[in-house]
Chains A and B, each alone.
Chain A
């Protein structure tokens, strides 16, 4: 991955305080188009808070966000979304009782004019949904199939396909693989790979080093609200990443006793 082109998102020294708690104490990350940037960290490291500042849920207390070279400040998620920053949350991506096509177009419903009235264009929505799902390798029984019948991995894939279809330039994935089985994880990682090849910047949050190593181009490790450093693919081993995340020796000892399978 060449990094000569300009970063699409630049986060400089982001700080976020919740009352007296310092959740982020100066985090800096650059995300480039067409790369998968893995954000690693243990629970409580500040990963979620950090991506929420990127997606407009939280306003950073201090620090700068540059999007496509210009300073940006998002007041609400909708603004970030319009700008092209889409977030897929682990368990809040889809509504199980609604059909795949209704979910796919949730918040972006296609309209068909009928005199002065506007109606939800179901035919168009169904067609697009079926086509996009086929591209992602999901075979639906029909566009009106409820999302509840899909597996966790398929739901993540639908959510990713949705974000891409609606023109996301930066795709933030919040632990998309943490609740999935092996095969489903592989499918989601394959989807990430496809999306990256379309030139979209992917920010992949995980605490699983192996998932990160499978698709990541660059890795940033967070610990206790700070960046511990960013490494390119090939410059770091999974063991080093794991040590950075856990921030220490006790992990090495534990790994030894478990045979290195953490």
Chain B
């Protein structure tokens, strides 16, 4: 082909202009947005009078959704970086148990217990990442191993030390601690007190807490969820590191050739996932005042499902933290909403399977639109 022609600069006649509406629909969050609207509409129609939308009800499903959100943010960013972490649930149990052992059994101050636990959990996350990166094994297998290893230790330690699998008394230990309220406290209590007095939200009618609002304030769990979602979204879409996360998951080899430190990105994402799991565990331990060896069971799958509902691809390189947060919201609202609506709770699992299937089908379609695959 010697007739090398200069490429023309006229508009390509084969590029069909797409409508703005279509353009705005084609985004990873589409599934999450549609799902959220459907779920809220359904429950508003069928369960509005059940107490689901009064202050207590809202706080109830917000808290459950916030739990899902915290682990979904970590799972989402890790999945976009091209890896899985199946040890999230075990990490929740393990971290909670470590805090309990350090603070109650060993009698350390709670702030020290929390900090050491975070350091420990993040190191295990790093170990997960290093093994995956160095051996080139699928993260599915490596973290599956850690699912069992961590769960085993979570049962073994309290069994050996205390001869039981639940360690309580953390509330007393945390009394007056400076770090514990960051996970177990509540904010805006003044506002809620005022709303109670103004008659906007319900107050206790009798008893020792008469006149106090039923909902005292916003738990730190929800604050953590919102902060992590905001942080994750900004990092992913607005920073250089975010671009590296997409690149690492999209095609690790191509990213390496372009000078992206893929291994470092992946290891850091494993560490972040472990961090999120430990935030979840610490909030839970502070709320319950105890740590149990069975905490966090199946949470890894719930996190992954929330992420997939939120539009991320299981194969990596594509997704959105906002989408994952919406996935978590759908999750929380439906789980609690079915309870409010008086539906048999086992049907929640049926719903989960169905919505997962729909989400994956919708996401595949959206991805085809974006990449122009046929």
Within 8 A of B (CB), among A193-222: 193, 210-211, 213-215
Q: Chain B CB within 10 Å — which of A95, A109, A148, A190 has the most? A: A95
Given contacts A98-B317, A109-B240, contact A93 B5 (CB under 8 A): no
Q: Which of the candidate stretches B49-57, B125-133, B197-205, B247-255 sits at the interface with the other chain?
A: B247-255
Within 8 A of B (CB), among A58-113: 77-78, 81, 87, 89, 92-98, 102, 105-109, 111
| A120-137 contact mask (Cβ, 8 Å, vs B): 1 or 0 | 101000000000001011
Given contacts A87-B257, A92-B254, A210-B1, contact A118 B15 (CB under 8 A): no
Are B4 and A190 interface neighbours, CB within 8 A? Answer: yes
Residue from A98, A119, A148, A211 within 8 A of B238 (CB atoms): A119
Q: Measured between alpha carbons, how far is A188 from B303 in the docked complex, in Å? A: 45
Q: Measured between alpha carbons, how far is A81 from B242 in the docked complex, in Å? A: 22
Q: Measured between alpha carbons, how far is A187 from B5 in the docked complex, in Å? A: 7
Are A118 and B4 interface neighbours, CB within 8 A? Answer: no
Are B3 and A186 interface neighbours, CB within 8 A? Answer: yes
Given contacts A95-B254, A214-B2, contact A107 B259 (CB under 8 A): yes
Are A186 and B5 interface neighbours, CB within 8 A? Answer: yes
Residue from A93, A107, A134, A141 within 8 A of B260 (CB atoms): A107
Q: Which residue of B lies closest to A95 (CB)?
A: B250
Are A92 and B1 interface neighbours, CB within 8 A? Answer: no
Residue B256 lies at the interface, judged by CB distance under 8 Å to chain A: yes
Say how far B313's CB is from chain A's closest CB, in angstroms. 8
Interface size on B, residues (CB 8 A): 40
Q: Measured between alpha carbons, how far is A78 from B238 in the docked complex, in Å? A: 24
Residue A249 lies at the interface, judged by CB distance under 8 Å to chain B: no
Q: Main secondary structure on chain B at its contact with chain A?
A: loop
Q: Which residue of B lies closest to A163 (CB)?
A: B258
Residue from A89, A96, A98, A118 within 8 A of B240 (CB atoms): A118
Are A77 and B373 interface neighbours, CB within 8 A? Answer: no
Are B15 and A141 interface neighbours, CB within 8 A? Answer: yes
Total contacts A-B at CB 8 Å: 112
Q: Which residue of B lies closest to A92 (CB)?
A: B254
Q: How large is the interface on A (under 10, 10 to 19, 20 to 34, 35 or more residues)?
A: 35 or more
A97: B residues at CB distance < 8 A: 246, 250, 313, 317-318, 367, 370-371
Residue from B15, B243, B244, B370 within 8 A of A139 (CB atoms): B15
Residue from B6, B243, B254, B257 within 8 A of A120 (CB atoms): B243
Q: Which residue of A lies closest to B246 (CB)?
A: A98
Are A108 and B259 interface neighbours, CB within 8 A? Answer: yes
Residue from A111, A134, A193, A214 within 8 A of B1 (CB atoms): A214
Q: Which residue of B lies closest to A140 (CB)?
A: B15
Q: Name A's B-contacting residues (CB within 8 A).
A: 77-78, 81, 87, 89, 92-98, 102, 105-109, 111, 118-120, 122, 134, 136-139, 141, 146, 148-149, 182, 185-187, 189-190, 193, 210-211, 213-215
Given contacts A111-B240, A137-B7, A141-B18, 15 further A-B contacts (CB under 8 A): A77-B259, A92-B253, A95-B254, A97-B250, A98-B247, A107-B258, A109-B240, A120-B240, A122-B238, A134-B9, A141-B17, A148-B370, A149-B370, A186-B5, A190-B5
**7 sampled A-B residue pairs with Cβ under 8 A:** A77-B256, A94-B254, A102-B246, A107-B247, A107-B258, A186-B3, A190-B7
Closest 10 CB pairs of A and B: A137-B7, A148-B371, A149-B372, A95-B250, A107-B259, A109-B240, A107-B258, A92-B254, A106-B258, A97-B317
